[in-house]
Amino acid sequence: MRVLVLGSGGREHALAWAIGRSPRVEEVLCAPGSDGIRADARVLPVDPGDADAVVALARRESVELVVVGPEAPLVQGVADRLEAAGVPVFGPSAEAARLEGSKAFAKSFMNRHRIPTAAHRVFDAPEAAERYVEERNGPLVVKADGLAGGKGVSVCRDVDEAKRAIHEAMREQRFGQAGKQVVIEERLEGEEASYYAISDGRHFVCLAAAQDHKRALDGDEGENTGGMGAYSPTPVVDAALERKIVERIVRPTLTGMRSEGRPYRGVLYVGLMIVDGDPYVIEFNVRFGDPETQPLLFRLESDLVPLLEAAARASLGSEGEAQLRFGDPAVCVVLTSAGYPRGFATGFVIEGLEAHASAPDVKIFHAGTRFESGSWRTAGGRVLGVTARGSTLAAARQRAYEVTRSIRFKGVHVRTDIARRAQGSDA
Ligand code: AMP
Ligand code: GLY
């Protein structure tokens, strides 16, 4: 079969690579893809945000499954359009994608279904929001309601920081329309983890847990980013906690979405804070995480495609019994441009990529690169995801950093502490 992946980042590169390994797949297409993804898919210049063009492409190329990488096209309804055109699609409808598209919706949904999450308030005017943070006078989290590329959340220590976040979102409109409303919630303290389940609207299969590092700087300092690195599995999620996550969060979410008439089909990504052994939702995403998907899929030993297909065709009941098999731990270190997640320059030559092309335990996923005049150049905030496997998390981590150190471009920034805590030492 022919599978079309929509998107162009490191996550889509990992998806294209994993899908291409399936014996069921003749060809992987990726739109718009990137020069880096070209190594693992035929890349086509179609905008995933243009549903007409995506449907036309799927028909023209006889695509039998579309896998949607990013959230924006889902929130805009690309899955609805493909489904209406009779093309099986892995990814939720626009109605179901509101779980990510509106944080205010997600919070009220969780309250309706008694899914554990931080207490919150929603504001559509900055004055009221500012009054509220003054009253609360403590650590709070200010979130733009809509999509902001993972950058719309400010974890604030005090009133001044919260006011600055409100100012940026609501008065300066740093996130455009996405910041017209803000959600202000209680700041939870604990360990973060992400959990993934694939659902066809009725049944679900759990994937492995992963953990990403969202802050730009070592020690979880600096601003929130799309993600600076990730690893899987994460020792934070043991069997007992996994049961709580499934029974208190995953199952009621999927049941709730179905009972509200918006069955959830696709991958449900639950961002969690573990507080005193109990899981709380800090966000839902309606697609695979980036960069978490890079280590997650690099570990996967079984074929991902039957599962994606069963979810798309609402036939997970039988297929779902075949659990996915995951191998050795994997760690992904993201190399970013200087200045990310704020402004950054691009076009710098990247050196050292070729040396690792055939290493079996390393895969370099391209997030923001282009190939020009015979060399690789930077073309985005997140540039590369160096992903390595090892017999232990520590070994995977060491290998990922060894390769990371051998790749150079002007202004390259990496966190040096990805997966450090998880490996159980400060090495
Ligand atoms: P989100 O995009 O909602 O996942 O938020 C990005 C990051 O902000 C999360 O990964 C957490 O590190 C942090 N965060 C979000 N909500 C909270 C909260 N209620 N308490 C503490 N940290 C939070
Ligand atoms: N790594 C965070 C995200 O994909 O939203």
What does the pLDDT look like over 242-262, one tens digit per residue?
999 999 999 999 999 999 999
Which residue's alpha carbon is nearest to atom 10 within ligand 1? Answer: 214
The number of the ligand 2 atom at minimal distance from the alpha carbon of 288 is 4
Instruction: Decide: 187 in ligand 1 pocket, CB within 6 A.
Output: yes
Nearest to 335 by CA among 403, 250, 257: 403
Predicted local confidence at residue 321, as pLDDT = 52
Q: What is the pLDDT of residues 82-100, one digit of tens each?
A: 999 999 999 999 999 999 9
Nearest to 182 by CA among 241, 139, 233, 121: 121
pLDDT at 298 over 90: yes
Domains belonging to the chain, first-starting first, are 2-93 (3.40.50.20), 125-180 (3.30.1490.20)
Predicted local confidence at residue 192, as pLDDT = 87
pLDDT at 215 over 50: yes
Instruction: Decide: 153 in ligand 1 pocket, CB within 6 A.
Output: yes
Structure letter (DSSP) for residue 136: H
- pLDDT confidence tier of residue 426, bands split at 50, 70 and 90: very low
CB atoms within 10 A of CB 347: 12
Entry pTM: 0.94
Report percent pLDDT > 90 for the chain.
88
Could you give the dihedral angle defined by the CA atoms of residues 385, 390, 392 and 394, in that order, rounded to the nearest 10 degrees? Answer: -50
Q: What is the pLDDT of residues 318-359, one digit of tens each?
A: 555 567 899 999 999 999 999 999 999 999 999 999 888 789
Give the count of alpha carbons within 13 A of 333, CB side only: 29
Is residue 114 within 8 Å of residue 255, measured between CB atoms?
Answer: no
Predicted local confidence at residue 318, as pLDDT = 59
Average confidence (pLDDT) over 195-221: 92
The number of the ligand 2 atom at minimal distance from the alpha carbon of 291 is 1
Place of tokens 């959990």: 195
Average confidence (pLDDT) over 35-59: 97
Is residue 225 within 8 Å of residue 340, measured between CB atoms?
Answer: yes
Element at 168 (helix H, strand E): none
Q: What is the pLDDT of residues 365-413, one digit of tens each?
A: 999 999 999 999 999 999 999 999 999 999 999 999 999 999 999 999 9
Predicted local confidence at residue 322, as pLDDT = 61
Q: Name the residue of 273, 280, 286 whose CB sits within 8 Å of the most ligand 1 atoms, as the mutation to test its pocket.
A: 273
Query: Beta-strand (E) ranges in 175-308?
Result: 182-186, 191-200, 204-206, 211-212, 215-217, 221-224, 229-232, 265-275, 278-285
Nearest to 119 by CA among 129, 130, 107, 127: 107
- In this structure, which ligand is nearest to the CA of 157? 1
Q: What is the mean pLDDT of the chain?
A: 94
Rounded CA-CA distance 30/93 in Å is: 20
Predicted local confidence at residue 34, as pLDDT = 98
CB atoms within 10 A of CB 379: 22
Say how many Å lie between the first and final Cα of the chain, rounded. Answer: 46
The number of the ligand 2 atom at minimal distance from the alpha carbon of 227 is 1
Average confidence (pLDDT) over 213-238: 92
What are residue 387's DSSP bridge partners?
332, 363
Rounded CA-CA distance 288/17 in Å is: 14
Tell me the CA–centroid distance for residue 134 and ligand 2, in Å: 30
Rounded CA-CA distance 300/45 in Å is: 29
Angle subtended at Cα 245 by Cα 73 and Cα 386, rounded to the nearest 5 degrees: 55
Predicted local confidence at residue 425, as pLDDT = 43
- pLDDT confidence tier of residue 317, bands split at 50, 70 and 90: confident
